[in-house]
Copies of this chain bind each other. A is one copy, B any other.
Amino acid sequence: MAEADLSFPLFHQQPRPGWQTVKDERLFANPHISVDRVEVLTPHRSQQPVPWLVVKRKAAVAIAPVTASGDFVMIPQERIPVAQECLEFPAGQIDCAVEDVTCQTVIDTALRELAEETGYALAPGGRLEPLGWFLPSQGFTDEHVYLFKAEPVGVVSQPSPDGNEHISPARLVSPGELRRRIAASEITTALTLALYARMAAKGSI
């Protein structure tokens, strides 16, 4: 696969000089999350550990798919925690421990979620462009989400989302419609806004 050579910085491999966890007490855990009470030394607080509550979660990916005609592929998805259907870019969790994530597992997850949630895939010669990562709620959770633009994409299959998810058929959204819906606060998910911010800042939308 053309993407096998793609490499990009990984969140968990960033140098963190001066950061040291001196205590980590697990208060709750299940297959989705853990809740830990940690005590941490930091660059600005190197003498007295800082106590904090951290909800730990797997890393994730989110993808902005663009068709050959320049439209974005978006999905309306029912989101239980916020009791809303959100129009958003496809995304999903990387199904391994954070410390085991590699560029290849990130890419594989991105391409799989794109196909499963939308039925689209990179066209021959298409490109997956890394757009860094973002931190959904950095005071609360270690969750981090890798961002990509996939261009061009085309329909290859029927979507096949996970059993517990409800995703309506993908919609094509022009750059102008995406901008209008963000300006009108109709698009609200961090992953979609983060992808838009990166693309807008790079001048590619």
- Residues on A lying within 8 angstroms of B by beta carbon are 14, 16, 19, 27-28, 30, 32-33, 35, 38, 40, 42-45, 50-55, 57, 78-86, 88, 131-144, 164, 166, 168, 179-180, 182-183, 185, 188-190, 193-194, 196-198, 200-203
Contact indicator A190/B137 (Cβ below 8 Å):
yes
Task: Write out the residue numbers on chain B whose beta carbons fall within 8 Å of the beta carbon of A16.
Answer: 83-84
Seed contacts A44-B168, A133-B188; 5 additional CB < 8 Å A-B pairs: A43-B78, A81-B139, A81-B142, A135-B190, A194-B194
Main secondary structure of the interface of A (DSSP, over half): mixed
How many copies the complex holds: the figure is 2
What are the nearest 7 A-B pairs in CB distance?
Answer: A132-B185, A182-B201, A190-B190, A52-B80, A183-B201, A193-B197, A28-B28
Task: Write out the residue numbers on chain B whose beta carbons fall within 8 Å of the beta carbon of A201.
Answer: 179-180, 182-183, 196, 200
* C-alpha spacing A180/B54, complex, angstroms: 30
Task: Write out the residue numbers on chain B whose beta carbons fall within 8 Å of the beta carbon of A200.
Answer: 196-197, 200-201
Q: Which residue of B lies closest to A131 (CB)?
A: B185
Task: Write out the residue numbers on chain B whose beta carbons fall within 8 Å of the beta carbon of A182.
Answer: 197-198, 201
Contact indicator B81/A140 (Cβ below 8 Å):
yes
